[in-house]
A and B are shown apart, each in its own frame.
Chain A
Amino acid sequence: MRKYNEPPGSEITPPELHARRREFLKTSIGVGLLAAVPSAPTFAAAFQFGADAKKSPFSTVEETTPYKHVTGYNNFTEFGPDKDDPARLAHRLITRPWQIEIGGLVNKPVTLGIEDILKLAPLEERIYRLRCVEGWSMVIPWLGFPLDVLLRKVEPLGSAKYVEFISAVQSENMPGVQYHYLDWPYTEGLRLDEARHPLTLLALGLYGEVLPKQNGAPVRLVVPWKYGFKSAKSIVAIRFVENEPRTLWNKTQPDEYGFYANVNPTVSHPRWSQARERRIGDFFKRDTLMFNGYAEQVASLYTGMDLRRSY
């Protein structure tokens, strides 16, 4: 039995570093002095979030949706049902400290702080189309890295077939959580091969800055070939499971929100057609593309499946 609150592994200083603590003090004084000289701004710029993000070949060349719309027109139901609720209310979300617990059918379950996650891999800029199930779309320059980087760390077992994502619930800060007709927390899921697909992004920022709270800070999923609701926001837990997990929207309206939710112009939502979409900023609608235009990369994931039934 533990007699005291053992600090988490991430907070324990490795012994070799501990032995060199005097050295660390000396160098940090040196760095401090260096920072005081006029060249400091360039020095600081090197540490700016996302400043050295690589451009990705997966990026679209389409015109990006203006920042004010990307951060002002959101579905983040924890903060309310209206599109402007997240921008008005998400400032109440507490994003530090933040941990993601990764477990389930894995060899090495782990709990990572957001600082650790930021250091896992270099950030990439990925300009993706986002298609909402409601019939509108945007083009967003995300910052992040492939989700697979994170998933590899925990070594999934052979029995793991699906990955479940669980979003934060901060009842006192999230007015939308008081809508009891939704079964909080927000949960989403992907098949393991979908989760490990190179297009599947763990996003930590957008438009060159740290992810705004209304967009799912501090860390969210971006699955560009699926309707937006599949891309869970403000993730606190990732679980590897054997069976297809239930998801919040699927539990609420199973005929409207399927598990796969691949963007598909030929499969209608029960209340509207999905054949067309309105790109935010456009007056008229445009045709929706199969897999939101990512068919070349992802269509092979679904060979032999009836996408009409597995909507």
Chain B
Amino acid sequence: MPVGMLKSLVFLLSLLPLGYYGWGIAQDTLGANPVEALTRGLGTWALNFLLITLAVTPLRKLTGWHVLMRLRRMLGLYAFFYAALHLATYLWLDQSFDWNEIAKDILKRPFITVGMATFALLVPLAATSNNFAIRRLGGRRWQALHRTVYAIAILAVLHYSWMVKFDQSNPLLYGGILLLLLGVRALWREQERKGQLAGKYLPKIRGRIIPITPRQ
């Protein structure tokens, strides 16, 4: 499949959750508390896309499908898209844009504080998810900035866990997947470090070695 077609396919598939909730609100099929279902559903999908984005690099390494890399930016932007909608439902449907209440909520309630911080940290990543920003910042700085996504993902899981009443099975599942995704990176990094120390990248030496000794 050509890359362009794959990207279009993933783009449309990623809109399915939005379609599901949009249709559910319109047809009243989201149960007794549709607003809660919508808010939670959008939050869940923001987290899903965040983890899917974080899965791209490990999956590419394991499978050798380098085309996955071409989807990463779009998947990350979808994480931001769903997070923005999730936040909007809270601001509008839960708080009716009562900024005074919202400010109190952010200051007083740890799970809201963490949720807001998570979103605030996502904004610069979304804003720099384009070629122009990469050129402007330079690859290294851009990469350093985008590595904050690891912290963002941890905060997102924490936000979920603190929101839940008592049944931590879902937050634990997300936490476990995140641990795996971050753990495998740490492991590979460590292996790489050891490999470098062991001279993995030194050119293969053929023939006789003439030691160079400094003159007296």
Contacts and interface: CB of A to CB of B under 8 A. Distances in A.
Interface stretch (B77-85, B105-113, B194-202): B105-113
A181 interface: yes
**Majority SS at the chain B contact face:** helix
Contact of A283 (B35, B104, B105, B165): B35
Contacts of B111: 271
Counting contact residues on chain A (CB < 8 A from B), the size range is: 20 to 34
A197 B96 CA distance: 37
Given A273-B101, A283-B93, A285-B94, A81 B167 contact: yes
Nearest to A136: B33
B32 to A, nearest CB: 3
B108 A268 contact: yes
A84 B31 contact: yes
In this complex, which of B105, B110, B167 has the most chain A Cβ atoms within 10 angstroms of its Cβ?
B167
A301 B96 CA distance: 34
B109 A181 contact: no
Nearest to B164: A81
A280 to B, nearest CB: 5
A277 to B, nearest CB: 11
A179 interface: yes
A163 B111 CA distance: 35
Contacts of B104: 273
A284 interface: yes
B52 interface: no
B88 interface: no
Given A272-B109, A275-B101, A181 B166 contact: yes
A69 interface: yes
B108 A179 contact: no
Interface in A277-311: 278, 280-281, 283-285
Nearest to A77: B166
A285 B34 CA distance: 13
Contacts of B33: 73, 83, 136, 278, 280
Given A81-B165, A285-B94, A278 B35 contact: yes
A284 B96 contact: yes
Contacts of A281: 32
B163 to A, nearest CB: 7
Contacts of A136: 33, 36
Interface string B157-197: 00000110111000000000000000000000000000000
Which among B34, B94, B162, B163 has the greatest number of chain A C-beta atoms within 10 A?
B94
16 contacts: A73-B31, A83-B32, A136-B33, A179-B166, A182-B166, A252-B166, A253-B166, A270-B109, A271-B163, A272-B105, A273-B104, A281-B32, A283-B34, A283-B93, A284-B93, A285-B96
Q: Which 10 A-B pairs have the closest CB atoms?
A: A73-B32, A81-B167, A69-B32, A280-B32, A271-B109, A136-B33, A271-B111, A72-B32, A280-B33, A284-B96
Given A271-B162, A278-B33, 17 more contacts: A68-B32, A72-B31, A81-B166, A83-B33, A84-B31, A179-B166, A181-B166, A253-B166, A268-B108, A271-B109, A271-B163, A273-B104, A275-B101, A278-B35, A280-B33, A283-B35, A284-B93
